[in-house]
């Protein structure tokens, strides 16, 4: 049981909701079976004549509930757009429903009044599987037309066992339509809610893919603007230099010198573009962290009023910590809340202290906002902080919490520390890395970060 609970927790939240709603629907028939089974045991000593019929009805209900799991599962899959075959299961389920109605009709005439009143409610449990599957695979008006036609057939077994026609018709028709509406409320609404949740989940995946495409287009535009004109000039001047060299003209040397100058200028411009992609801004990363965590359904609290008072080098370094921590909260935990706090600690040169705390650390996981595994990126963050004389620490708390703490002596940042902000990002590509956009780099970047955690979606060629 514990292993199944852990396996359930390993699924994504949307998958957990799907499983919960499905099994809640599967369990509905068993509630009637349990209660009616206890009622039969209580009446066993007072109504032995109807006990056999009641036991037969209980057996039919149990078989219907067991077969109904597969039937309802396939009907829900059909409602959600999957191709499934359930004709045979549907036919068997309606045969069992008919048998249950016949047994109830016999009990109503041969059993005691208390037993007849008790087992009559069991038809609700027996009807969930066939009617629930029917309302999931046909339109609502078709479902109600079939139920209305079926309600006229329900009184037949009651009339055959001697019940007055008017009584059988009135009670059976009303009861059949009531049960049909109740089953639709339970089954159809469950399928409708699941379809909405899966559509929203799919829309977020599409939005993430569009964000990746937009980031690629932005990168390609920058490369074209930087290299397109210069490469065209290099090609033309090289061709001209070849022609001049064939003629023995000394001007070919001047043209090749110009080619060299353009190539060097292209290298410089390319380095500036790459540096711009690798720089991290603390305010941007904090805003991106809030957007990503909120989009993932995580309550996010940020207190970073001290950010404006920090030197640029310290802000950029702490921005990398925020980016890595936020990404790993999504990757390595099922957090419900996350708190980021940046404060100034007096004493000595003064220190900037950034803490990231989250709950929902998975069983067997290396952590939440960081982790101790080889792919956590903490080693790279420590190296980046060490340039400024800072430190990085993490600890696991109670109730599945994780706390990541970065401390940077503000007064120790050397003037040349800005060069660090454009270097290779920390880690080994898990959450941050060269060429990977920051959480707030593009429109829809929030969901892109979420889908990178949920489905492993990352731009091709940019995840390592």
Q: What is the pLDDT of residue 45?
A: 56
Residue 215, token pair as written in the block: 């980031």
Residue-wise pLDDT tens digits, 94-104: 999 888 888 88
Is there a contact between 238 and 223 (Cβ–Cβ < 8 Å)? Answer: no
Which residues make Cβ contacts (< 8 Å) with residue 50, sequence separation at least 6?
Answer: 43, 107, 110, 111, 112, 115, 116
Q: Which residue has the tokens 């959600």?
A: 80
Q: Are 175 and 317 members of one domain?
A: no
Range of the domain at 55: 2-205
Strands 299-303 vs 351-358: parallel, antiparallel or unpaired: unpaired
Q: Among 205, 224, 241, identify where a domain stops.
A: 205
Q: How many other CB atoms are found less than 10 A from the CB of residue 155?
A: 23
Percent of the chain with pLDDT over 90: 6
pLDDT band at 49 (very low <50, low <70, confident <90, very high): low
Q: Among 205, 228, 261, identify where a domain stops.
A: 205
Q: What is the DSSP track for 281-345? A: -HHHHHHHHHHHHHHTT-EEEEE-TTGGGS-HHHHHHHHHHHHHHHHHHHHHB--SEEEEEEEEE
Higher pLDDT, 310 or 121: 310
Distance (Å, rounded) from C-alpha 75 to C-alpha 62?
20
pLDDT at 27 over 70: yes
Domain presence at residue 219: no
Q: What is the pLDDT of residue 347?
A: 62
pLDDT at 16 over 60: yes
Domain presence at residue 144: yes
* Eight-state DSSP code of residue 396: E
Distance (Å, rounded) from C-alpha 343 to C-alpha 302?
11
Domain presence at residue 331: yes
Q: Among 181, 205, 229, identify where a domain stops.
A: 205
Query: Residue 428 sits in a domain of what CATH number?
Result: 3.30.565.10
Residue-wise pLDDT tens digits, 361-372: 866 554 555 444
Is there a contact between 102 and 119 (Cβ–Cβ < 8 Å)? Answer: no
pLDDT at 400 over 50: yes
| Residue 74 three-state SS | helix
In the chain, how many domains are there?
Answer: 2
Residue-wise pLDDT tens digits, 73-130: 899 988 888 877 778 888 899 999 888 888 888 877 766 666 666 666 778 888 888 9
Q: What is the pLDDT of residue 424?
A: 39
Q: What is the pLDDT of residue 160?
A: 82
Distance (Å, rounded) from C-alpha 220 to C-alpha 345?
44
Domain presence at residue 40: yes
Residue 456, token pair as written in the block: 């492993």
Q: Pick from 204, 186, 185, 208: which is nearest to 196 by CA?
A: 204
Q: Are 187 and 66 members of one domain?
A: yes
Domain presence at residue 211: no
Q: In the predicted model, what is the mean pLDDT of the chain?
A: 76
pLDDT band at 354 (very low <50, low <70, confident <90, very high): very high
Residue-wise pLDDT tens digits, 198-231: 888 778 777 777 877 877 887 787 777 777 778 8
Distance (Å, rounded) from C-alpha 354 to C-alpha 154?
70
Of 16-30, 273-287, 369-383, the least confident: 369-383
* Cβ burial, residue 83 (10 Å; 0-12/13-18/19+): exposed
* Eight-state DSSP code of residue 209: H
């Amino acid at each position: 049981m514990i292993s199944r609970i852990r396996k359930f927790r390993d699924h994504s939240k949307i998958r957990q909701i799907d499983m919960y709603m499905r099994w809640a629907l599967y369990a509905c028939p068993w509630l009637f079976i349990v209660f009616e089974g206890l009622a039969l045991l209580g009446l066993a000593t007072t109504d032995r004549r109807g006990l056999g019929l009641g036991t037969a009805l209980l057996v039919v209900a149990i078989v219907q509930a067991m077969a109904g799991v597969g039937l309802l599962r396939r009907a829900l899959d059909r409602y959600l757009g999957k191709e499934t075959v359930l004709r045979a299961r549907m036919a068997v389920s309606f045969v069992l429903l008919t048998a249950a109605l016949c047994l109830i009709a016999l009990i109503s005439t041969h059993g005691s009044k208390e037993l007849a009143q008790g087992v009559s409610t069991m038809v609700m449990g027996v009807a969930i599987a066939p009617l629930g599957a029917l309302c999931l695979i046909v339109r609502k008006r078709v479902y109600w037309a079939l139920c209305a036609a079926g309600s006229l057939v329900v009184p037949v077994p009651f009339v055959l066992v001697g019940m007055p026609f008017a009584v059988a018709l009135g009670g059976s028709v009303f009861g059949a339509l009531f049960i049909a509406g109740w089953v639709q409320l339970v089954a159809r609404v469950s399928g409708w809610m699941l379809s909405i949740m899966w559509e929203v989940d799919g829309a977020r995946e599409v939005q993430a893919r569009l964000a990746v495409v937009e980031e690629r287009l932005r990168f390609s535009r920058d490369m074209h603007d930087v290299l397109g004109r210069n490469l065209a000039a290099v090609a033309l001047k090289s061709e001209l230099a070849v022609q001049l060299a064939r003629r023995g003209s000394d001007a070919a040397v001047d043209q090749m010198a110009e080619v060299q100058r353009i190539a060097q200028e292209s290298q410089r411009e390319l380095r500036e573009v790459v540096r711009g992609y690798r720089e991290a801004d603390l305010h941007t990363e904090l805003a991106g962290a809030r957007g990503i965590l909120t989009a993932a359904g995580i309550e996010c609290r940020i207190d970073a009023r001290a950010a404006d008072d920090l030197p640029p080098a310290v802000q950029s370094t702490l921005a990398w910590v925020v980016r890595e921590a936020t990404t790993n909260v999504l990757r390595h935990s099922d957090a419900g809340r996350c708190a980021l706090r940046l404060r100034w600690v007096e004493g000595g040169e003064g220190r900037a202290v950034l803490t990231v705390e989250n709950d929902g650390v998975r069983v067997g996981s290396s952590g939440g906002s960081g982790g101790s595994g080889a792919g956590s990126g903490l080693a790279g963050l420590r190296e980046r902080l060490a340039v400024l004389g800072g430190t990085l620490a993490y600890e696991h708390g109670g109730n599945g919490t994780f706390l990541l703490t970065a401390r940077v002596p503000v007064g120790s940042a050397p003037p040349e520390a800005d060069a660090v902000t454009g270097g290779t990002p920390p880690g080994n590509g898990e959450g941050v890395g060269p060429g990977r956009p920051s959480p707030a780099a593009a429109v829809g970047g929030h969901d892109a970060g979420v889908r990178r955690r949920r489905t492993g979606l990352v731009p091709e060629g940019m995840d390592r």
